[in-house]
Amino acid sequence: MLSFLDFEKNIAELEGKLQELKHLSDIGDIKIADEVSRLQVQIERALKTTYGKLSAWQKVQVARHPERPHCVDFIDTLIEDFTPLSGDRTFSDDAAIVGGLGRFRGRSIVIIGQEKGHDTDTRVKHNFGMPRPEGYRKAIRLMKLADRFKLPVVTLVDTPGAYPGIGAEERGQAEAIARSIETCLSLSQPIVSVVIGEGGSGGAIALAAANNVMMMEHAVYSVISPEGCASILWRSAEHAEEAAEALKLTSQNLLKLGVINSIIPEPLGAAHRAPKEAINMVGNSISEALNELQAQDESVVKRLRRERFLTIGDDALTT
């Protein structure tokens, strides 16, 4: 059973009615069948209007939806022969970042991403997608491995942010993130990133200093969580809705700001309503991006990636 968000009350009601009728329609009444299709049209219309004009704060809710497909779902669907790789060779393995070797539509790749988990056990195991330094150091190791074997890197970004903890700080959370960004920028092979849910601050950019950065339609990507921003600038987390709006964290805004290359559309009512379809649409976009990048001369891939970042935001400056 799908969980509904606050702003989906009318959709939830229609869905409830529909489920009831569907039970009855087993009997085979034609009138009921008519009513079912009428309701289905209504639901579709309601989804279209609601999801066509989501506010920034509503997008944050959608991006965090518990049933939204997560990194492991993308890997399951898109990657053949997936071979997970573990550990930073220094301290431990951090399950908040998963990654490994695999084949994506015929080509060998290294895939890396943050995983949030889908129930209590897996959420705890993956630390709600909040990596510690070991996670970033594993990512660094995997990216370097990819480069050595001339494999492209695909990253899937979905994290509330890097984990704020004593051990994480002691083991150099800041250094690990900085080094991970540096590694992204140093690769001679293409790297493609997709923000699939929540792109939370430094914890996200650590895996997203890529040649091509895309966002799913209802994903968000921000320098700070709306709650965090509100508690600093408005002195109360209750202003999160205003903060979300002010931060311009939606895919539509980021495309306008020149921070992302493209938006990957989601099925009607967002990815959690049709995960397989959503995942395959992301697969298509990754495939296109890789085709384009792999057609480039190998010597320019790194330079183009750096130039991409060097020019972001430049038009906001005096010369």
Partner 1 sequence: MNWLKNYVRPKIRALVEKENIPDNLWKQCQSCEQMIFHRELEAAHNVCPHCNHHMRLAAKKRLETLFDHGVFETVQLAGLKGDPLKFRDKKRYTDRLKDSRNTTGEDDALIVAHGKMGGNAVIVAIMNFSFMGGSMGIALGKGLISAARLAVLKESPLIAITSSGGARMQEGILSLMQMPRSIIAVNEVKEAGLPYITVLTDPTTGGVSASFAMLGDIAIAEPGAVIGFAGARVIEETIRETLPEGFQRAEYLLEHGMIDRVVHRHELRDELIRINAILKNTNSAKIVPIASSNKSSKYINQEREAAE
Q: Does 306 bind partner 1 (CB under 8 A)?
A: yes
Q: Which of 168, 196, 271, 290 binds partner 1 (CB under 8 A)?
A: 168
Give CA torsion, residues 229, 235, 237, 243, to 10 deg. -40
Tokens of 151: 């494999």
Q: Which stretch, 36-44, 58-66, 117-125, 224-232, contacts partner 1 (CB under 8 A)? A: 224-232
Q: In this complex, which beta carbon is closest to partner 1, that of residue 243 or of residue 264?
A: 243
Q: Does 207 bind partner 1 (CB under 8 A)?
A: no
Report d(CA 172, CA 132) in Å as an integer. Answer: 9
At its nearest, how many Å lie between partner 1 and the CB of residue 268? 27
At its nearest, how many Å lie between partner 1 and the CB of residue 186? 8
Report d(CA 110, CA 301) in Å as an integer. Answer: 17
Report d(CA 280, CA 297) in Å as an integer. Answer: 28
Q: Which of 20, 29, 34, 182 binds partner 1 (CB under 8 A)?
A: 182
At its nearest, how many Å lie between partner 1 and the CB of residue 210? 10
Query: What 3-state DSSP class applies to 108?
Result: strand
Q: Does 91 bind partner 1 (CB under 8 A)?
A: no
Q: Which of 259, 281, 282, 290 binds partner 1 (CB under 8 A)?
A: 259
Q: Which stretch, 12-20, 37-45, 57-65, 160-168, contacts partner 1 (CB under 8 A)? A: 160-168
Q: Does 57 bind partner 1 (CB under 8 A)?
A: no
In degrees rounded to 5, what are phi and psi of residue 216?
-70, 155
Write the single-letter amino acid at 139: A
At its nearest, how many Å lie between partner 1 and the CB of residue 57? 15
Q: Does 171 bind partner 1 (CB under 8 A)?
A: yes
Report d(CA 123, CA 151) in Å as an integer. Answer: 30
Q: In this complex, which beta carbon is closest to partner 1, that of residue 141 or of residue 305?
A: 305
Q: What one-character DSSP code corresponds to residue 117?
A: -
Q: Which residues have C-beta within 8 Å of that of residue 63, sequence separation ≥ 6? A: 197, 198, 218, 219, 220
Beta bridge partners of 199: 159, 221
> Is the separation of the CB atoms in 63 and 272 below 8 Å?
no
Q: Which of 81, 257, 291, 292 binds partner 1 (CB under 8 A)?
A: 257
Q: Does 51 bind partner 1 (CB under 8 A)?
A: no
Long-range contacts from 167-171, C-beta under 8 angstroms, 24+ separation: 167/132, 168/132, 168/133, 171/91, 171/132, 171/133, 171/134
Q: Does 127 bind partner 1 (CB under 8 A)?
A: no
At its nearest, how many Å lie between partner 1 and the CB of residue 110? 20
Q: In this complex, which beta carbon is closest to partner 1, that of residue 162 or of residue 282?
A: 162
Query: What 3-state DSSP class applies to 136?
Result: helix
Q: Which residues have C-beta within 8 Å of that of residue 34, sequence separation ≥ 6? A: none
Q: Does 227 bind partner 1 (CB under 8 A)?
A: no
Q: Does 128 bind partner 1 (CB under 8 A)?
A: no
Q: Among residues 133, 141, 135, which one has the least CA distance to residue 187?
A: 141
Q: Which of 11, 191, 254, 281 binds partner 1 (CB under 8 A)?
A: 254
Residues interacting with partner 1, by CB under 8 A?
A: 162-166, 168-175, 177-179, 181-182, 184-186, 201-202, 205-206, 209, 221-224, 228-229, 232-234, 242-243, 246-249, 253-254, 257, 259, 306, 309-310, 312-314, 316-319
